[in-house]
């Protein structure tokens, strides 16, 4: 079991890159501990800005820094960053088109039993609806590393959501296929396509392995690039497989599954089933318990595919 959380990888990449790139700045909202940014904060005090529990100002200040050539990473719980700071993200980042990378930590239902105040099950909808804003949900530590290194090279806004805890590796060290804004084909298949993002890619991969044993050939797309979504990969899947099942840690409206359905409906109609969190506060529990309850884990995905195919 991998013990390195995706957030730790972000800390490590930024710590390494900031040794030579003095324009990198990390901002936290009393969140350096939960963000896994403690070692960065300690070793780069001159490139770290503590904003206190003030997420609106966190984003405005990051935008001001960016307008002066800095490369700010505003790292704050996804729940607050994607809704409390939504207007600042809209006006100061997306609309002003500033080079701010919004890092939503402990995303989705990572905070489990802390309840809906701490869940960010609407962040794809809120952030993805803004012009200029890109939305990324990397799946494992290797992809997170590739993604952060990639977005460091551009000067456009992005929202990146990661979970709280370490997740199983989807890829292997030294073998991490990655092209920015292109879905990663985790597994080829001809009967059904599972399109997943974030922490649930691992479940999609496990489900595909189980489905293979039942004789169902399953393609798995890691749609970490929720926006801009890889439209070509979706259309290709719609044309080449009989069913698409989307899996995401997000509410049923305005998420990755909605985007997939929008693309297939217009370009290559195929049955699309969205596995999502409900349009309701989720039940109490840890992430894995919540995923299982709503059928988002490997077992639930297998069940849905066999029923729907």
Ranges of H-type helices in 114-255: 123-128, 141-151, 201-213, 231-240
Nearest partner of 194 among 245, 136, 148, judged by Cα: 245
Q: Which is nearer to another protein, 7 or 70 (CB)?
A: 70
Q: Are 277 and 250 in contact (CB under 8 A)?
A: yes
* Segment interacting with another protein (CB under 8 A) among 45-53, 147-155, 156-164, 207-215: 45-53
Q: Point out which span in 50-58, 136-144, 149-157, 160-168 binds another protein (CB under 8 A).
A: 50-58
- Cβ(275)–Cβ(246) under 8 Å? yes
Query: Using CB under 8 A, which of 91, 152, 235, 252 touches another protein?
Result: 91
Give me the helices (H) in the chain, please: 6-17, 38-43, 55-67, 78-83, 86-88, 123-128, 141-151, 201-213, 231-240, 256-267, 287-293, 298-308
Closer CB to another protein, residue 15 or residue 27?
27
Q: How far is the CB of 17 from another protein (least distance, A)?
A: 16
Cβ at position 133, least distance to another protein in Å? 14
> Is omega for the bond preceding 228 within 30 degrees of 0, making it cis?
yes
**Closer CB to another protein, 86 or 135, in the complex:** 86
Total residues in contact with another protein, by rule CB under 8 A: 30
Judged by CB under 8 A, the residue of 97, 165, 217, 262 near another protein is 97
Binding mask 54-83 for another protein (x = CB under 8 A): x-xx-xxxxxxxxxxxx-x-----------
Pairing of the two strands 134-136 and 71-77:
unpaired
Cβ-based neighbours of 236, under 8 Å, separated by 6 or more: none
The count of other CB atoms within 10 Å of the CB of residue 283 is 12
- The answer to the question of residue 87 lying near another protein (CB under 8 A) is yes
Considering the complex, state which of residue 82 and residue 110 has its C-beta at the smaller distance from another protein: 82
Q: Which residues bind another protein (CB under 8 A)?
A: 25, 46-47, 49, 51-52, 54, 56-57, 59-70, 72, 87-88, 91-92, 95-98
């Amino acid at each position: 079991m991998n013990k390195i959380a995706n957030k730790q990888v972000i800390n490590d990449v930024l710590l390494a890159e900031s040794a030579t790139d003095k324009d990198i700045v990390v901002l936290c909202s009393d969140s350096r501990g939960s963000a896994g940014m403690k070692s960065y904060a300690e070793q780069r005090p001159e490139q770290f800005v503590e904003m206190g529990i003030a997420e609106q100002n966190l984003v405005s200040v990051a935008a001001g820094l960016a307008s002066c050539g800095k490369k700010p990473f505003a790292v704050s719980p996804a729940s607050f960053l994607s809704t409390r700071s939504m207007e600042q993200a809209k006006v100061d980042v997306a609309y002003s088109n500033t080079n701010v990378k919004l890092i939503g930590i402990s995303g989705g239902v990572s905070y489990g039993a802390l309840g809906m105040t701490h869940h960010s099950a609407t962040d794809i909808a809120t952030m993805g609806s803004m012009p200029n804003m890109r939305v990324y949900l990397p799946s494992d530590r290797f992809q997170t590393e590739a993604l952060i290194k990639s977005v460091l090279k551009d000067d456009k806004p992005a929202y990146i959501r990661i979970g709280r805890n370490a997740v199983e590796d989807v890829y292997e060290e030294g073998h991490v296929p990655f092209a920015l804004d292109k879905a990663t084909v985790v597994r080829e298949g001809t009967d059904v396509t599972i399109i997943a993002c974030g922490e649930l890619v691992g479940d999609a991969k496990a489900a595909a392995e189980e489905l293979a044993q039942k004789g169902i050939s399953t393609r798995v797309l890691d749609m970490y690039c929720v926006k801009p979504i890889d439209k070509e990969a979706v259309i290709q899947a719609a044309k080449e497989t009989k069913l698409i099942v989307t899996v995401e840690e997000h509410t049923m409206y305005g998420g990755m599954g909605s985007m997939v359905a929008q693309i297939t409906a217009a370009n290559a109609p195929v049955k699309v089933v969205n596995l999502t969190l409900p349009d309701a506060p989720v039940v109490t529990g840890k992430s894995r318990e919540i995923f299982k309850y709503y059928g988002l884990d490997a077992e639930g995905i297998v069940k849905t595919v066999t029923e729907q195919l």
